[in-house]
């Protein structure tokens, strides 16, 4: 996510850090590089212009030019302005006074509406609120079957009628069912088409009038870039959107849509899809995403993921290891396996401050294959080597590589990851970073 943009920002800040004291010319050159990076990321040019204007005005202030740490001040300003561009504060689902609360999901075919409906339902169920999924997309033949299958997998009720052609009739009966079963939320998966047309919009307008939804969320593919803005603008004009859901964010190395929508359309992003799994949906936090883009990590999101996965007993055992500063390769193997459950090693490492470069440099290619190779490497070591990796010299690395069917370079990559993780573990033991990011109790 935002890998290319993050790399460009890192290059700009590294160049500034070599300057020592900054001049107006230095700042202007840095902003020129940032401008090119944002435009290459397909960010709307008006958004770029306004963003750079605000950053430059603040950066030329006496607090930056006269500071002993001007680069840190610049990073702080960019972070704050980037957060503002992304929306400033998170926008949560807004319940209505009437029950059940209705969420209408709208969007074009292929944007991921049906999968997103199931993800939002799981999000609500996990927070203790009973949802009902409604298959109101009567145009796509497989939509009902797909939603029904997802509902069964997640143990979430689904209402639909594969023989009914009127979406409005389906929704009316679904509301009656929701009231009888005491569902708090009704999530309606509406029809989509390849392109915006009058028939689709007329039906959606009619559904809005009938259902009186508390939320109308547009589901849009994040990788569609500027096209996402055109689609969002038209849907907002006709329906009055309350929010956006950006799907396929894990595959979006540029990020133009996410950085443009709030400023251009005026509609907040409420969720982002970060993978195919049902739990791969995140509440959109502008400040956290800004930190990710700037390579500062996203520890809070990582802690939240960890809390859902680690048991209290696992946390206690890990904390004992932490307090004893005895983090070894057995612990790393356990953490890598947990990371895979939490959405993938590369994604998790990318959330750690300063380690985004490792996720792209070490964990490139087939992540699952790389994880299996790492596991084989650790299992090919002697118990002494796992407990004390510092004794692994060149001859031991060659032996371990032969035993695991890998290369000495693979062994070196694993050890590089281990030393980074051990460094974080020691920092956590000293209270310098939250222990929760390692799956430990707070």
CATH topology of domain 101-293: Rossmann fold (3.40.50)
- List the strands of the sheet with 158-159, edge to edge: 158-159, 131-135, 185-189, 101-106, 215-221, 243-247, 269-273, 281-283
Tell me, which fold does domain 299-438 have in CATH? Answer: 434 Repressor (Amino-terminal Domain) (1.10.260)
Could you tell me the CA-to-CA distances from 404 to 104, 331, 367, 401 in Å, in that order? 52, 19, 17, 5
Distance of CA 71 to CAs 18, 26, 85, 118, 204, Å?
9, 11, 21, 44, 50
Tell me if 274 sits within 8 A of 304, measured CB to CB: no
Kindly list the domain boundaries of the chain, sorted by start residue: 3-85, 101-293, 299-438
* Bridging pattern class, strands 281-283 and 269-273: antiparallel
Question: Tens of pLDDT along 175-194?
Answer: 999 999 999 999 999 988 87
Binned at pLDDT 50, 70 and 90, residue 401 comes out as very high
Rounded to whole angstroms, the Cα distance separating 6 from 25 reads 23
CB 265 within 8 A of CB 229: yes
Question: Is there a contact between 136 and 143 (Cβ–Cβ < 8 Å)?
Answer: no
Q: Over the stretch 110-164, which tens digit does the pLDDT of each residue have?
A: 888 999 999 999 999 998 999 999 999 888 878 889 999 999 999 999 998 878 7
Percent of the chain with pLDDT over 90: 40
Q: Which of 326, 358, 330 is nearest to 345 (CA)?
A: 358
Cα distances (Å, whole numbers) of residue 339 to 265, 309, 348, 371, 400: 36, 10, 6, 10, 24
Q: Does domain 3-85 have CATH number 1.20.120.140?
A: yes
The rounded distance, in Å, linking the Cα atoms of 135 and 366 is 35
> Is-same-fold flag (101-293; 299-438)?
no
Q: What local confidence, expressed as pLDDT, does residue 433 receive?
A: 47
pLDDT at 87 over 50: yes
Kindly state the helix (H) or strand (E) to which residue 281 belongs, with its residue range: strand 281-283
Q: What are phi and psi of 224, to 5 degrees?
A: -80, -10
To the question of pTM greater than 0.85 for the whole model, the response is no
Give the pLDDT score at 440. 40
Q: How confident is the model at residue 66 (pLDDT cuts 50, 70, 90)?
A: low
> Encoding tokens for residue 228?
């996402």
Round to whole Å and give the CA distance between 228 and 40: 16
Decide: helix, strand or coil at residue 158.
strand
Residues 382-387 have a mean pLDDT of 91
The interaxial angle of helices 113-126 and 143-154, nearest 10 deg, is 20
Q: Between 131 and 68, where is the model more confident?
A: 131
Of 159-168, 206-215, 290-299, 407-416, where does mean pLDDT reach its minimum? 290-299
């Amino acid at each position: 996510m935002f890998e290319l943009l993050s790399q460009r920002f890192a290059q700009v800040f590294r160049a500034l850090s070599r300057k020592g004291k900054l001049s107006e010319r230095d700042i202007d050159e840095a902003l020129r590089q940032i401008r090119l990076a944002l435009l290459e990321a397909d960010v709307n040019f008006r958004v770029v212009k306004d963003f750079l204007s605000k950053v430059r005005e603040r950066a030329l202030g006496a607090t930056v030019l006269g500071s002993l740490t001007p680069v840190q001040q610049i990073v702080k300003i960019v972070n704050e302005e980037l957060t503002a561009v992304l929306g400033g504060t998170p926008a949560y689902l807004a319940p209505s006074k009437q029950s059940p609360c209705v969420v209408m999901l709208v969007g074009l075919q292929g944007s991921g509406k049906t999968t997103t409906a199931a993800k939002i339902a799981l999000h609500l169920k996990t927070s203790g609120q009973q949802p009902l999924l409604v298959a109101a997309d009567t145009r796509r033949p497989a939509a009902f079957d797909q939603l029904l299958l997802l509902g069964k997998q997640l143990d979430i009720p689904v209402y639909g009628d594969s023989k009914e052609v009127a979406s409005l009739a389906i929704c009316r009966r679904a509301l009656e069912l929701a009231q009888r079963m005491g569902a708090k939320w009704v999530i309606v998966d509406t029809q989509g088409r390849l392109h915006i047309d009058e028939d689709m919009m007329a039906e959606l307008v009619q559904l809005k009038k009938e259902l009186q939804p508390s939320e109308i969320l547009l589901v849009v593919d994040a990788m569609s870039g500027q096209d996402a803005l055109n689609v969002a603008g038209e849907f907002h004009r006709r329906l009055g959107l309350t929010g956006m859901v950006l799907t396929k964010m894990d595959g979006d190395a540029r990020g133009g849509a996410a950085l443009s929508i709030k400023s251009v359309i005026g509609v907040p992003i409420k969720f982002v899809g970060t993978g195919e799994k049902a739990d791969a949906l995140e509440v959109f936090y502008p400040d956290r995403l800004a930190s990710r883009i700037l390579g500062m990590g996203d520890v809070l999101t990582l802690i939240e993921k960890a809390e859902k996965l680690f048991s209290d007993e696992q946390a206690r055992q890990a904390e004992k290891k932490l307090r004893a500063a005895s983090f070894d390769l057995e612990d790393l193997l356990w953490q890598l396996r947990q990371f895979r459950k939490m959405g993938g090693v590369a994604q998790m490492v990318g959330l750690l401050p300063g380690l985004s470069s490792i996720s792209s440099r070490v964990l490139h290619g087939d992540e699952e294959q790389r994880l299996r190779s790492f596991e084989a490497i650790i299992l090919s070591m002697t118990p002494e080597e796992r407990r004390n990796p510092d004794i692994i010299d060149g001859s031991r690395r060659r032996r371990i590589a032969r035993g695991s069917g890998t290369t000495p370079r693979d062994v070196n990559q694993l050890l590089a990851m281990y030393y980074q993780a051990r460094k974080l573990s020691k920092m956590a033991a000293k209270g310098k970073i939250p222990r929760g990011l390692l799956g430990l109790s707070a």
